[in-house]
Amino acid sequence: MNQKESFLSAPAEIPCGNTLFASRMAKTPKSFIREILKVTEDPQIISFAGGLPSPDLIDVPGIAEAAGRVLAADGKIALQYSTTEGYLPLRQFIADLYKKRLGLDIPADEILIANGSQQCLDLIGKVFIDKDDSIAIERPGYLGAIQAFSLYEPRFHPVILHEDGPDTSMLVEVIEKYRPKFFYGVPNSQNPSGITYSAERRSEVAAVLAGTRTFFIEDDAYGELNFSGISLPSFRKYLPQQTIITGSFSKILAPGMRLGWIVAPKEVMEQLVIAKQASDLHSNYLCQRIAFEYLSHTDIDLHIRTIQSTYGKRCRLMQDLIHEQFPESVRCTRPEGGMFVWVTLPDGISSMDIFDAAIREQVAVLPGRPFFIDGGGDNTLRINFSNSSEEMIREGIRRLARVIRRLGIA
């Protein structure tokens, strides 16, 4: 099997008669991103394939100082078991952030600390999804959510994503016909497309869901990364009892700390806590304490503005270079925040062919097919700008433009 086939093949079927593994494992895809990142470990390769925050924006000295203070003042407690819900002062800090950023009054007891936003998705899957239950998801949809939910064997119903948000007529059809348990979406700087729902589209989507038994799962991993610094309303404003929010410190603090959280109504939170107790008892308590100590002694708003400014410059540079150097038939989104630009090639052009040729030019991109749960996306690419310097972006786009023109794309 060649490299291309190994990346795009379906999950391996369990051999006949082999009952060692649960059947669900044969239906759960590998992380396409993790597999491709193995190919891009060569330091000579400029990688636009992953979704890593810039290491230059991780405050290593500040976090080290915070860790030292926690261990010196309260080490024996910080290294002990703790409550499932998470460190209360950290949960209250998150609640205060929502009040300041979005005007939401969220009590700390409606916040659960998790091991990154990926565990949030897993816990939501555990609590809501029985085999063959219907769930709705954006098209294209976040690959990490597709993988997390697939483990529970639902029936996915994709809803097309336009430049300003989901296709509401399609969402109406999905809701009326399939009555999904939830609609999962990333309203702010969506992964993979970079699209942000407009205020009007948010209101329309909320109106579709209002009065139904369908929750909206609002993945807000990129909410703080809007380049303008202006936040659009959360779905909790429209649907307080039907909205579950997931958030993360990975993009604004450090992904290696694996700290995320879920905001949910109390009756849902009770079930999430039970699921988390069964999973891991509680998230890393030491990291929770260090994070709170750091946040309590740092101007996090200034830090976030620095991230917004840095990523905004890198994004605009990448977009300008794409428009200057790629053929006119190649289109890309213009994100208002986040970490990704979504590229659409002419029909009939394979993004895997681009990937293979680009690797030979020592630049890596992420083919878009895995983001389409129902197939399609063969002519799309996700390109990351957050983890590359401006110099690397210039050189990487130059190499990628050469690849695209060499393949005869006009």
Q: Is the pLDDT of residue 233 over 70?
A: yes
Q: Is the pLDDT of residue 62 over 90?
A: yes
Q: Is the pLDDT of residue 16 over 90?
A: no
The residue out of 275, 296, 317 marking a domain boundary is 296
Q: Is residue 112 located within the same domain as residue 46?
A: no
Q: Is the pLDDT of residue 5 over 50?
A: no
The residue out of 236, 266, 296 marking a domain boundary is 296
Q: Is residue 330 located within the same domain as residue 188?
A: no
State pLDDT tens for residues 142-155: 999 999 999 999 99
Ordered DSSP codes for 17-76? T--SS-GGGGGS---HHHHHHHHT-STTSEE-SS-PPPGGGS-HHHHHHHHHHHHHHHHH
Overall average pLDDT of the 5-11 stretch: 45
Q: Is residue 65 located within the same domain as residue 54?
A: no
pLDDT score at 155: 98
Residue 35's region, left for phi above 0, alpha for psi from -120 to 50, else beta, is: alpha
Q: Is the pLDDT of residue 17 over 90?
A: no
Assess contact for 349 and 367: CB atoms under 8 A: no
Q: Is the pLDDT of residue 12 over 80?
A: no
Only one residue has tokens 């499932």, namely 84
Mean residue pLDDT of the chain comes to 93
Assess contact for 11 and 28: CB atoms under 8 A: yes
Burial class of residue 131 (count of CB atoms within 10 Å of its CB; 0-12, 13-18, 19+): exposed
| pLDDT band, residue 37 (cuts 50/70/90) | low
Overall average pLDDT of the 70-83 stretch: 97
CA distance 223 to 234: 10
Q: Is residue 155 located within the same domain as residue 173?
A: yes
| pLDDT band, residue 15 (cuts 50/70/90) | low
pLDDT score at 124: 98
Give the Cβ contact number of residue 172 at 10 Å: 15
Domain of residue 235: give its range: 60-296
Give the domain CATH number at 381: 3.90.1150.10
Alpha helices for 161-264 (secondary structure H): 168-178, 199-209, 235-238
Both tokens of 64, joined, read 């080290």
The residue out of 296, 323, 343 marking a domain boundary is 296
Assess contact for 39 and 3: CB atoms under 8 A: yes
State pLDDT tens for residues 240-294: 999 999 999 999 999 999 999 999 999 999 999 999 999 999 999 999 999 999 9
Q: Is residue 306 located within the same domain as residue 252?
A: no
Give the Cβ contact number of residue 106 at 10 Å: 22
Q: Which of 49-53, 121-125, 344-348 has the highest mean pLDDT?
A: 121-125
Q: Is the pLDDT of residue 10 over 60?
A: no
Please name every residue paired with 111 in a beta bridge, in sequence order, or none if there are none: 263
Q: Is residue 157 located within the same domain as residue 242?
A: yes
Assess contact for 343 and 322: CB atoms under 8 A: yes
Which of the residue ranges 3-12, 229-238, 277-286 would you say has the lowest mean pLDDT?
3-12
Which amino acid is located at 239 in the chain? Answer: L
pLDDT score at 287: 98
CA distance 58 to 120: 23
- Residue ranges of E strands in 61-214: 111-114, 134-139, 155-162, 165-166, 182-185
pLDDT score at 35: 65
Give the domain CATH number at 280: 3.40.640.10
State pLDDT tens for residues 146-200: 999 999 999 999 999 999 999 999 999 999 999 999 999 999 999 999 999 999 9
CA distance 343 to 192: 10
Q: Is residue 179 located within the same domain as residue 282?
A: yes
pLDDT score at 236: 98
Q: Is residue 233 located within the same domain as residue 150?
A: yes
Q: What's the number of domains the chain is made of? A: 2
pLDDT score at 33: 66
Q: Is residue 146 located within the same domain as residue 186?
A: yes
pLDDT score at 409: 79
Which amino acid is located at 33 in the chain? Answer: I
Q: Is residue 290 located within the same domain as residue 401?
A: no
Query: For 142, which DSSP code?
Result: -
Please name every residue paired with 218 in a beta bridge, in sequence order, or none if there are none: 185, 245
CA distance 351 to 371: 13
Q: Is residue 240 located within the same domain as residue 322?
A: no
pLDDT score at 28: 75
Q: Is residue 85 located within the same domain as residue 219?
A: yes
Q: Is the pLDDT of residue 2 over 60?
A: no
Please name every residue paired with 245 in a beta bridge, in sequence order, or none if there are none: 218, 263
pTM value > 0.75: yes
pLDDT score at 281: 95
Q: How far is CA 285 from the centre of its chain?
A: 23
